[in-house]
Amino acid sequence: MNDMILLKLGELVLKGLNRHTFEEALMRNAKRRLRPFGPFQVTTRQSITYVEPLSDDCDVPGAFEAMKKIFGAADVCWCRACEKDKEAMLSAIRDFLSDELAGARTFKVECKRSDKTFPLNSIQLAQYLGGELDDLYPHLTADMHHPDLTVYVEVREKAAFVHGTPVPGAGGLPVGMAGRAVSLLSGGIDSPVASWMMAKRGLSLEMVHFFSYPYTSEEAKQKVLHLAKLLTPWTGRLVVHVVPFTAIQEELRRSCPEELFTILMRRFMMRISAEVAHRCGAGCLVTGESLGQVASQTMEAMRCTGAVTDLPIFRPAVGLDKEEIVRISRRIGTFETSILPYEDCCTVFTPRHPRLKPTLAECRRAEEKLDVEGLVKAAVDGIERVLIEL
């Protein structure tokens, strides 16, 4: 029988009567991600999503890599399906795990019998397969505690499946199950990580990037679009709303106190992002803020920036330090792009002494000199929408 990919479901199994909707979302997302790799059948039974190639031309290694980034799967296994017969299972083990068996010195066999009509229970089947392997491979020694190789055999409804150690999956919830959000994407390290973290909790994302040409370069814009591209294996396709932000920043520099420049700038970002959210049907905003990391990310500053919208603002990185954020950035593959030396709009006109504890009253007084609605409307009307696909 064919090689297959098994997705072991994580917290989805706890969803009670709503569980099938989560499973259906996972299958839809998997089918979309599998399109570049050929025709696959995707089904779910007994807390397992089965990804089965329907053609010899299917790119199973490519599909396996893609499935490792599907939110909702706790573990991912590349396995060999075979008949529910102990001799067939032994043959599948010898063929599918031949390299691992040759390279190991100690081993054990773990069996799971979901099909209770199979005549051997899990312990009996493991004893049979382990004994046969011990006879066939003299260099192997059984070790139940710390083996070099664990051979997994699962006897399920339609077939038996043989595989080695499962690979950790992306975990979380299928993208789309928690609704839609607008995520503020800069060119730095934090915002791609925050976007990834909220996609992991089931949010479908649209991105907003604030572009201040000519103070920031075309290369800086392309860097952000590339960051979005790096996120798509996890999130699915993304729309990036590129907002022209130069006029707002220049007006702030002309009319507002320098020490409030950054916080007022971020208030405009929140207003514009909220308008984008209303237009695309999103129910919340996502930012990469980490408490105390910079002057605009104090408790008081975040209160001032959040006060301009009634949408919830999710800050998943708020309790992480920079080293923790960098570790996630490296894991998801965005770090090397994030550190490319192209400035984003947040570095334009940076005040020498930013206010660390701004108040809502002083922010509102400063904004009385501005045509806030007109500036926001002009920026929203000038948005360039860029579709980023896998």
**pLDDT value of residue 345:** 67
Cα dihedral 312, 247, 227, 7 sign: positive
In this structure, how many other beta carbons lie within 10 angstroms of the beta carbon of residue 258? 15
User: Do 133 and 200 lie in a common domain?
Assistant: no
Residues 191 and 140 in one domain: no
* pLDDT tens track for 343-363: 776 666 778 888 889 999 999
Task: Cis check for the bond before 214: say yes or no (omega within 30 of 0).
Answer: yes
314 and 343 in a single domain? The answer is: yes
Tokens of 222: 């392309």
Radius of gyration of the chain (CA): 26
Reported as a single tens digit per residue, the pLDDT across 83-134 is: 999 999 999 999 999 999 999 999 999 999 999 999 999 999 999 999 999 9
Kindly tell me the burial class for residue 208, based on how many C-beta atoms sit within 10 Å of its own C-beta (0-12, 13-18, 19 or more). buried
* Domain of 38, in residue numbers: 3-168
Of 168, 194, 225, which closes a domain? 168
Same domain, 246 and 104: no
Q: Per-residue pLDDT for 188 more than 80?
A: yes
Q: pLDDT tens digits, residue range 204-228?
A: 999 999 999 988 889 999 999 999 9
The reply to whether 173 falls in a domain is no
Domain of residue 131, CATH code:
3.30.2130.30
Is 6 within 8 Å of 112 (Cβ atoms)?
Answer: no
Interior angle at CA 149, CA 148 and CA 150, nearest 5: 130
- Among the candidates 168, 203, 223, a domain finishes at 168
Asked if 129 and 95 sit in the same domain, the reply is yes
Task: Give the closest residue to 169 by CA, choosing from 329, 10, 361.
Answer: 10
Do 109 and 183 have their domain in common? no
In a domain, 50, yes or no: yes
CB-based contact 252:178 (threshold 8 Å): no
Share of residues in the chain with pLDDT > 70 (%)? 99
pLDDT band, very low/low/confident/very high, at 14 (cuts 50, 70, 90): confident
158 plus 197 within the same structural domain: no
CA dihedral 134, 138, 141, 147 (to 10 degrees): -90
Q: What is the pLDDT of residue 1?
A: 59
Would the pLDDT of 239 be above 90?
yes
**pLDDT computed for residue 311 by the predictor:** 98
Query: What is the C-alpha to C-alpha distance for residues 270 and 290, in angstroms, rounded to an integer?
Result: 16
The answer to the question of residue 381 being in a domain is yes
Q: Is residue 120 part of a domain?
A: yes
Which pLDDT value is given to residue 60?
Answer: 96
What is the per-residue pLDDT for 352? 80
- SS3 string, 114-178, reads CCCCCCCCHHHHHHHHHHHHHHHCCCCEECCCCCCEEEEEEECCCCEEEECCCEECCCCECCCCC
Same domain, 163 and 232: no
Average pLDDT of the chain?
95
Average pLDDT over residues 36-55: 95
161 within domain boundaries: yes
Tally the domains of the chain: 2
pLDDT in tens, 127-174: 999 999 999 999 999 999 999 999 999 999 889 999 999 999 999 999
- At 390 the pLDDT is 83
Q: How far apart are CA 168 and CA 206, in angstroms?
A: 27
121 and 220 together in one domain: no
Q: What is the pLDDT of residue 267?
A: 97
For residue 367, CA distances in Å to 113, 263, 269, 345 come to: 67, 11, 14, 20
**Percent of the chain clearing pLDDT 90 (strictly above):** 89
User: Taking the model in full, what pTM does it have?
Assistant: 0.93
Instruction: Decide if 84 contacts 126 (C-beta within 8 A).
Output: no
Q: Is residue 82 a part of any domain in this protein?
A: yes
* β-pairing verdict for 40-45 and 106-113: unpaired
Domain stop point among 108, 143, 168: 168
In a domain, 174, yes or no: no
- Are residues 164 and 183 located together in one domain of the fold? no
C-alpha 267/C-alpha 32 separation (Å) is: 37
- Residue 268 inside a domain? The answer is yes
Q: Are both 134 and 10 inside the same structural domain?
A: yes
CATH number at residue 238: 3.40.50.620
Q: Are residues 116 and 251 in the same domain?
A: no
